[in-house]
């Protein structure tokens, strides 16, 4: 067994070198081998990697990027390897560990240290007033949860959070349990992630998911990648982009940061990538200001409308607009309304781009018959995210770029099954059709009132109107905005329960009582009910396939998420409850039979998912150019020209991921591509802004965010790094900076925290800080 690190490294010694201009290649392969060897030991680790994303293996617990039909023998990336190594580790958190480390001790550790301790091996309980977690049996644990849930005045005093790794089967049972209990309080990580995409796409196209497949990317003439860092967060996407380029596509990258992965890609699976200089991915880099994308796409759209006016029939796909779209004339009127000079002044101010750059982008758009737009958190976590994504839909609709090969919307999802969880009904605002189907299948009346999303859940705990917090995975305390407010809210709960694989900060910030329930992960061999079980997941492009773990679980004390939900539901709902929870846990096929009858698109689920490549869920806009919106057509929408305001002497801060983390799981203290090593408390600032603000390269500063409620939110001791980010914009890592994101600062409509636009000022370094 490898030893866990004893020291908690302080994350305050960052060293800085020049950012890289290419990604992947041999260093990435070496790095993944190192990580895997360290965590899992060479044999177990390599055996595990052989199975990643293979047709008979397990779905990588890293990102949600789809697998190509023709799989490479190593269909994983450096960061997928790290995700696998984290989970397949031999390090174990035992009862001796909990006896040695009390909750106060755990609360003083960094998330990095907590994660490095290894897999949780048996259920543990923190009794009222106790200082340490102590082992309990699964039956005792279920009794404790049942006691609190059944003692509530209303089921709406309970919250059931989900992170996006939960399988379809477990997610389906989990939402069924919550609704049978009587609540729609099903907040999930999506609320902080792609909720803005779902809101915008649902309203405009009728389906809140992406409309492209991998094949469409390969066939596109132009791919726009906006607000996304695939080199780190979706490395296998670089292979798809490389292939698209080889087929003749051009790429526009829109980002305040020049991310290495979007510059040059060195594919480790080809000789050219290993020995040669790799592939230049980006043809045009638009270094937009944070939150400037709405103005950018509005500018492109206005130019297209004006050209069409001058030369009718030259730009727009008139037939498509007439036959399939609604609201075009109103949209056109609204976008052309602003007077020319004022419009362009606003665009320049919001984007920081020159007119010539926008003209160059436009020329590339007009030269392309088939366009795909890809995006991730850079577009979804702003106040005006929903209008921004709606404007991208306008952009695509104008030239008929939805619902035909080589074109469409591509919101690139994060967690490996976050999209599937939503399909299974993990949603605080389920639609009536879904609830009706659930009701017909299981013979009960599910609650119809909307439940709490993440931000409202925190507010409800804060005011005491929610008392039990139950999490199916994730790290709610560290992933949520406004860390201090969130921690205070969690501490007010009567009971907090986490179904987890590894320790994290949410286990240390507890309600009056707390439980940690250890779950099998994606890599673990699942023998629930005495037979080998598999689960299913849905990727970012709506493909559903099976996932089978192959690693022998570290301990018999862990249970599958399906077994945990089934056992808990039986205990809470009682022996009389007529849902056959035990049968579901004994044979996951029986769960899939029920999913088939409740969720559209899963016909013949058990048979089709045994096809090694899985199957595609139907998507009306993509498959038949049918738009199931309120108007029955694809909707054009007028979105205005809003952009974040940056007061004088302040910068706009985005909180993002380093190369060595998976959300709140920190793999290491380097961010290789950006040239940051051995530390995470850095703030990247444009040198000209730094000069104006007196921020010396290498000096230390505190960050203080500004919000209308007047509360001081401070993140101490960040090293200033002069970096080529867009003017007026700064960047620092999540979750260290979540303390700065005000709970009340959320996107219009989607209510997603504005993690990519926080107004900050810089004040004298106060030195010490709490580990995050
Ligand atoms: N290895 C690894 N893989 C992951 C994750 C991980 O943490 N580690 N997380 C997973 C999850 S849950 C998700 S949601 C995804 C996240 O994937 P990303 O969205 O790529 O993650 P972020 O690090 O938040 O990066 C945001 C990117 O958008 C840019 N950006 C920020 N604001 C703006 C803006 O206003 N406009 C534009 N045009 N660009 C902007 C940033 O500079 C950065 O390049 O990755 C998933 N995959
Ligand atoms: N400031 C800021 N905040 C953000 C973001 C940002 O960009 N900036 N991004 C947001 C986004 S996009 C997201 S998706 C959220 C992520 O929010 P979460 O999904 O809540 O957070 P993670 O860090 O992914 O959760 C990691 C924990 O999940 C548990 N885990 C891992 N695998 C499994 C499993 O298979 N089963 C179970 N039961 N548990 C498991 C482990 O205990 C691990 O510690 O954070 C959001 N928060
Ligand atoms: Mo995410």
Structure confidence by residue, pLDDT tens digits, 515-557: 999 999 999 999 999 999 999 999 999 999 999 999 999 999 9
In testing the pocket of ligand 1, which one of 87, 115, 378 has its CB within 8 Å of the most ligand atoms? 378
Ligand number nearest CA of 376 is 1
Res 234 pLDDT > 60? yes
Q: Residue 268 pLDDT > 80, yes or no?
A: no
**Cα-based distances in Å from 756 to 96, 256, 373, 486, 745:** 41, 11, 19, 19, 11
Cβ 293 under 6 angstroms from ligand 1: yes
CA gap 359, 347 in Å, rounded? 13
pLDDT band, very low/low/confident/very high, at 1 (cuts 50, 70, 90): very low
Q: Give the ligand with the smallest distance to the CA of 378.
A: 1
pLDDT at 41 over 90: no
Q: Does ligand 1 come within 6 angstroms of the Cβ of 651?
A: no
Domain 651-764, CATH: 2.40.40.20
Plot region of 760 (φ>0 → left; ψ -120 to 50 → alpha; else → beta): beta
29 — pLDDT class (breaks 50, 70, 90): low
Q: For 616-625, what is the mean pLDDT? A: 97
Distance CA 454, CA 452 (A): 7
Which pairing describes strands 661-662 and 665-666: parallel, antiparallel, or unpaired? antiparallel
Fold of 195-412: Dimethylsulfoxide Reductase; domain 2 (3.40.228)
Q: If you measure from the C-alpha of residue 686 to the centroid of ligand 1, how many angstroms do you get, rounded to a whole number?
A: 19
For residue 230, give the ligand nearest its CA.
1
**Residue 25 in contact with ligand 1 by CB distance below 6 A:** no
Within a 10 A sphere around the Cβ of 709, how many other Cβ atoms?
9
Give residue 2's pLDDT.
Answer: 37
Closest residue to atom 44 of ligand 1, CA basis: 229
Ligand in closest contact with the CA of 65: 1
| Least confident interval from 61-65, 149-153, 689-693, 722-726 | 61-65
For a ligand 1 pocket test, name from 234, 235, 255, 664 the mutation site with the most ligand atoms within 8 angstroms of its C-beta. 255
The answer, yes or no, to whether any atom of ligand 2 lies below 6 A from the CB of 499, is yes
For residue 503, how far is its CA from the centre of ligand 3 (angstroms)?
19
Alpha carbon distance 640, 346 (integer Å): 11
Cβ–ligand 1 distance for 254 under 6 Å, the answer yes
In sequence order, what are the residues at sequence separation of 6 or more whose Cβ sits closer than 8 angstroms to the Cβ of residue 757?
290, 291, 381, 382, 383, 644, 652, 653, 654
Q: Give yes or no for a contact between 434 and 149, defined as CB atoms under 8 angstroms apart.
A: no
Q: Return the ligand number nearest the Cα of 735.
A: 2
Ligand 1 within 6 A of 257 CB? yes
Which atom of ligand 1 sits closest to the CA of residue 663? 7
Domain with CATH 3.40.228.10 in the chain: 195-412
Instruction: Return the ligand 1 atom nearest residue 659 CA.
Output: 1
Ligand 1, atom nearest to 193 Cα: 14
State the span(s) of the chain assigned CATH 3.40.50.740.
Answer: 93-192+417-598
Q: For ligand 1, what atom is nearest to the CA of residue 665? A: 7
pLDDT at 45 over 80: no
CA of 481 to the centre of ligand 1 (A): 16
Q: How many CB atoms lie within 10 A of CB 768?
A: 8
The pLDDT score that the predictor gives to residue 73 is: 67
Q: What pLDDT band is residue 495 in, cutting at 50, 70 and 90?
A: very high
In angstroms, the CA 678 to CA 112 distance is 12
Fold of 93-192+417-598: Rossmann fold (3.40.50)
Q: Which of 81, 227, 735 to mutate to test the pocket of ligand 1 (most atoms within 8 A of CB)?
A: 227
Distance CA 639, CA 298 (A): 9
CB 352 near ligand 1, within 6 Å? no
Ligand 2 test: best mutation among 377, 470, 664, most atoms within 8 Å of CB?
A: 664
Q: Is the CB of 62 under 6 A from ligand 1?
A: yes
Collect residues with CB below 5 Å from ion ligand 3: 193, 414
Nearest to 403 by CA among 639, 630, 618: 618
> Rounded to whole angstroms, how far apart are CA atoms 146 and 52?
37
Cα 60 to middle of ligand 2, angstroms: 15
Ligand closest to CA 561 = 2
- Is any atom of ligand 2 closer than 6 Å to the C-beta of 187? no
3-state helix, strand, coil in the chain (%, to 5): 40, 20, 45
Distance 648 CA to ligand 3 centre (A): 32
- pLDDT of 436: 98
Please state the φ and ψ torsions of residue 212, each to the nearest 5 degrees.
-115, 155
- Tell me the per-residue pLDDT of 270-303, one tens digit each, with 9 for 90 and over: 766 666 778 889 999 999 999 999 999 999 999 9
User: Residue 394, Cα to own-chain centre: how many angstroms?
Assistant: 24
755 in ligand 2 pocket by Cβ < 6 Å?
yes
- What pLDDT is stored for residue 3 in this prediction? 39
pLDDT at 616 over 60: yes
What are 162's strand-pairing partners?
188, 472
- Cβ(664) – ligand 2 distance below 6 Å: yes
C-beta 258 within 6 A of ligand 1 = no
Our answer on whether the CB atom of 165 is closer than 6 Å to any ligand 2 atom is yes
Categorize the per-residue pLDDT at 382 as very low, low, confident or very high, splitting at 50, 70 and 90. Answer: very high
With both helix axes pointing from N to C terminus, report the angle between 432-442 and 588-598 in degrees, rounded to the nearest 10: 130
Instruction: Give the model's pLDDT for residue 768.
Output: 82
* Alpha-carbon dihedral 690, 692, 693, 699, rounded to 10 degrees: 40
- Structure confidence at residue 467 as a pLDDT band (50, 70, 90): very high
Q: What is the pLDDT of residues 550-595, one digit of tens each?
A: 999 999 999 999 999 999 999 999 999 999 999 999 999 999 999 9
Give the Å distance between the CA of 325 and the centre of ligand 2. 38
pLDDT band at residue 70, thresholds of 50, 70 and 90? confident
Q: What is the 164 CA–ligand 3 centroid distance (Å)?
A: 8
Percent residues over pLDDT 70 in the chain: 95
Average pLDDT in the chain: 94
CA distances from 305 to 52, 299, 333, 336 (A): 47, 10, 10, 8
Helix axis angle for 293-310 and 355-367, nearest 10°, is: 60
Q: Is the pLDDT of residue 662 over 60?
A: yes
Q: Where in the chain is the domain with CATH 2.40.40.20?
A: 651-764
Residue 649 — very low, low, confident or very high, per pLDDT cuts 50/70/90?
Answer: very high
User: Residue 654: is its pLDDT beyond 90?
Assistant: yes
The answer, yes or no, to whether any atom of ligand 2 lies below 6 A from the CB of 741, is yes
Closest alpha carbon to 572 in 174, 295, 206: 174
């Amino acid at each position: 067994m490898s030893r866990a690190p004893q020291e908690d490294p302080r994350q305050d010694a960052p060293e800085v070198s020049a950012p890289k201009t290419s990604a992947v290649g041999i260093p990435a392969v070496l790095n993944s081998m190192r990580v895997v060897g360290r965590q899992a030991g060479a044999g177990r680790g390599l055996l595990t990697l052989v199975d990643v994303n293979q047709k008979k293996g397990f779905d990588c617990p890293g990102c949600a990027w789809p697998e190509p039909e023709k799989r490479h023998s190593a269909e994983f990336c450096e960061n997928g390897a790290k995700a696998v190594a984290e989970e397949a580790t031999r390090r174990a958190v035992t009862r001796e560990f909990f006896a040695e480390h009390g909750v106060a001790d755990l609360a003083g550790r960094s998330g990095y240290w907590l994660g490095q301790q290894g897999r949780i091996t048996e259920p543990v309980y923190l009794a009222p007033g106790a200082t340490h977690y102590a082992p309990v049996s699964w039956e005792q644990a279920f009794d404790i949860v049942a006691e609190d849930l059944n003692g509530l005045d209303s089921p709406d005093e309970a919250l059931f959070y989900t992170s996006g790794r939960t399988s379809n089967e477990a997610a389906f049972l989990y939402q069924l349990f919550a609704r049978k209990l009587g609540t729609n309080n099903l907040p999930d990580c999506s609320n902080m992630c792609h909720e803005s995409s779902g809101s915008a796409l649902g309203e405009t196209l009728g389906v809140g998911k992406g409309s492209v497949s991998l094949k469409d990317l390969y066939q596109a003439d132009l791919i726009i990648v906006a607000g996304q860092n695939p080199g780190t967060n979706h490395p296998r996407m670089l292979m798809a982009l490389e292939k698209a380029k080889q087929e003749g596509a051009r790429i526009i990258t829109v980002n305040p940061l020049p991310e290495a992965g979007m510059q040059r890609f060195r594919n480790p699976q080809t000789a050219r990538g290993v020995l040669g200089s790799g592939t230049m991915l980006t043809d045009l880099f638009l270094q937009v200001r944070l939150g400037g994308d709405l103005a950018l796409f509005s500018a492109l759209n206005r130019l297209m409308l004006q050209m069409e006016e001058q030369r009718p029939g030259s730009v727009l796909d008139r037939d498509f607009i007439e036959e399939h779209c609604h609201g075009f004339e109103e949209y056109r009127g609204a976008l052309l309304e602003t007077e020319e000079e004022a419009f362009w002044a606003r665009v320049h101010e919001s984007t920081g781009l020159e007119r010539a750059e926008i003209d160059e982008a436009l020329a590339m758009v007009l030269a392309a018959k088939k366009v795909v737009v890809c995006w991730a958190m850079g577009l979804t976590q702003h106040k005006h995210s929903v209008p921004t994504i709606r404007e991208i839909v306008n952009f695509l609709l104008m030239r008929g770029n939805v619902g035909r090969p080589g074109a469409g919307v591509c919101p690139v999802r994060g967690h490996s099954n976050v999209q599937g969880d939503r399909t299974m009904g993990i949603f605080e605002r389920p639609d009536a059709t879904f609830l009706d189907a659930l009701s017909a299948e299981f013979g009960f009346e599910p609650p119809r009132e909307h439940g709490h999303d993440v931000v409202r859940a925190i507010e409800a705990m804060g005011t005491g109107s929610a008392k039990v917090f139950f999490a199916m995975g994730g790290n709610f305390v560290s992933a949520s905005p406004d860390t201090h407010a969130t921690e205070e809210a969690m501490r007010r709960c009567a009971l907090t329960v986490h179904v987890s694989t590894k320790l994290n900060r949410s286990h240390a910030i507890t309600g009056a009582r707390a439980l940690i329930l250890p779950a099998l992960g994606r890599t673990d061999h699942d023998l629930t009910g005495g037979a080998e079980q598999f689960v299913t997941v849905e990727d970012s492009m709506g493909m559903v396939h099976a996932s089978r773990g192959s690693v022998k679980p570290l301990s018999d004390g862990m249970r599958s998420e399906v077994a945990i939900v089934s056992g808990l539901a039986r205990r809470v709902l009682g022996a009389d409850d007529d849902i056959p929870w035990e049968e579901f846990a004994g044979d996951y096929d029986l769960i899939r039979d029920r999913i088939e009858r409740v969720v559209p698109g899963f016909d013949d689920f058990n048979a089709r998912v045994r096809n090694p490549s899985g199957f595609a869920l139907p998507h009306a806009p993509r498959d038949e150019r049918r738009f199931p919106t309120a108007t029955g057509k694809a909707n054009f929408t007028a979105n205005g020209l809003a952009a974040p305001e940056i007061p004088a002497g302040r910068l706009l801060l985005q909180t993002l991921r380093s190369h060595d983390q998976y959300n709140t799981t920190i793999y290491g203290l380097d961010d290789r591509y950006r040239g940051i090593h051995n530390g995470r408390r850095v703030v990247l600032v444009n040198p000209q802004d730094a000069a104006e603000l007196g921020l010396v390269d290498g000096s230390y500063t505190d960050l203080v965010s500004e919000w209308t409620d007047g509360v001081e939110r401070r993140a101490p001791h960040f090293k200033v790094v002069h970096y080529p980010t867009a003017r007026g914009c700064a960047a620092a890592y999540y979750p260290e900076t979540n303390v700065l994101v005000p709970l009340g600062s959320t996107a219009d409509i989607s209510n997603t925290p504005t993690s990519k636009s926080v107004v900050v000022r810089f004040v004298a370094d106060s030195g010490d800080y709490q580990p995050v």
